[in-house]
Amino acid sequence: MGAITDKTKCIGCGRCMDVCPGNLIRKNTEGKAYLKNEEDCWSCASCIKECPVGAIFLRLPAEFGGVRADMHAKTDNNITEWEIDRADGKKIVFITDTNEANKY
Ligand code: SF4
Ligand code: SF4
């Protein structure tokens, strides 16, 4: 399962549309983002890193996150804080730094 938009949070900025490598995201008549073809999303996470209000997230495969685990991201310059919210109420948080991406 790939990216999911939350239309109650979306402010219609279009940043997710600009970064999607598959050009999969559109706006509906209310200016809210949605995925044109959900089955084409390959979960690259570019859109969720770019969204300024957390209105788009990835539902992880059950093998990875358990039942209904949703991954959100907050990015500030090169730092991204990833949060996985699980259906059982547990949260997993980890940080990535793009400056470190090619370090190893
Ligand atoms: S996860 Fe990647 S491929 Fe899927 S909608 Fe977002 S940017 Fe596009
Ligand atoms: S980046 Fe977020 S707020 Fe902006 S259009 Fe996409 S989902 Fe909506």
Predicted pLDDT of residue 65: 77
Quote the number of domains for the chain.
1
Residue 66 belongs to domain spanning:
3-100
How far does residue 45's CA lie from ligand 2's centre (Å)? 13
Predicted pLDDT of residue 48: 95
How far does residue 34's CA lie from ligand 1's centre (Å)? 11
Residues with beta carbon inside 6 Å of ligand 1?
2-3, 19-22, 24-25, 35, 41-47
Residue 27 to residues 11, 34, 37, 39, 93: CA-CA distances in angstroms? 11, 6, 13, 18, 30
Predicted pLDDT of residue 104: 64
Please give the Cα distance from 72 to 52 (Å, whole number). Answer: 11
Q: Is the model's pLDDT at 102 over the cut of 80?
A: no
At 84-95, the pLDDT tens digits run 999 999 999 999
Q: Which domain CATH number covers 38? A: 3.30.70.20
Predicted pLDDT of residue 70: 94
At 50-78, the pLDDT tens digits run 999 999 999 998 887 788 899 999 999 89
> Mutation test of ligand 2: which of 20, 48, 53 has the most ligand atoms closer than 8 Å to its C-beta?
53
Task: State which amino acid sits at residue 1.
Answer: M
